[in-house]
Structure 1
């Protein structure tokens, strides 16, 4: 996994959280301000049968540029384009068969990255929530993006011969209500959520008008701040996006 909104916890808190994860955070472009050392591992190598896959992470470069200051206390970010060729070469020296870049730059930026940097087999694109039904192929790099909010699952099947992707098949699968829940996963989620149900169900207020959340820049929460607290300027990404409500519904209780 690579990062963006996770830094809303603040870098120090976020680092503590990552120690509890059973999967790595990857980023070639997040540095400690004092030491200039990488905050996370730049890549990992996974083996699937006889196939070795190298995965490189590139975090959202806007974290220290347009996000609130606390997102980037003690850290700084680069674009990652200068570091990437070095790590691709490192992975080739480790004899990997396929190189995957996990990126949170945004689709246009990732197109440009693929044009400029050789050796990327697959680029898993993020940040702007595109539903890419047909992968873009740029400089022999297959680029996919699979929507947002768990609404889609992207599946990419690769045929690899002699460390080269010779064919691929892509599907953008819609996550629908008729898909049967995994009981084991459902049980684990409930264990995690159970201690917090009561607090999260506490009603703080009501609204009798639609709360529309499909905004490109400012969120419903931003406008709430303007109306209630007299804030004169709403800054994109300054408060909370994408989490208040998923549909336009009148007469809503919020907690």
Structure 2
């Protein structure tokens, strides 16, 4: 939750730094411009604020999924965007400010009470369906998600992304650990930048790339070769 609080704060700062021309720029999420992406970020921050809010969003998402098909999570994210379709940029920023403390409180409380419980359904990762726990979603994914979308904002607008070893470096380290566990093969990895570091298991050819670029590739936003074809959920 320390990482969650910091990530919410950096999300707010990133949204506040956007200029008037930035909000309509296209993003790495093909159906969304910057404003729509930010609306999703606010909606996903609100999602775990209470069991009532979770149930409300899931109920509406089920109706969208029934009409559109595709991954169930796409119905949820579409609801989050659609509910804020008329929000101006200042409303989006205010929504992010208000959602942050509620999100952290809800995630802490729900994960403490139900963290070991399985999430309904499965999630597609690396061509397989896998089951997640409530705790994995609340403690890990819902911090990685806004972090990755901050990289989307930076890529869309050209504005620098705030990165520090004690926050972003911790998130990247966790991502690398999960990536290594998922592929299970020897590797040697050096990631550059403030969030980077060095990791190794066994003997393998050294891979060197930027820490943010590495995460974007294994999130599916770039084309990975070899071990970089192994994706990690964000």
Pair in the same fold by TM > 0.5: no
Whose Rg is larger? 1
TM-score, normalised to structure 1's length? 0.24
- More strand, by proportion: 1
Length-normalised TM-score, structure 2: 0.25
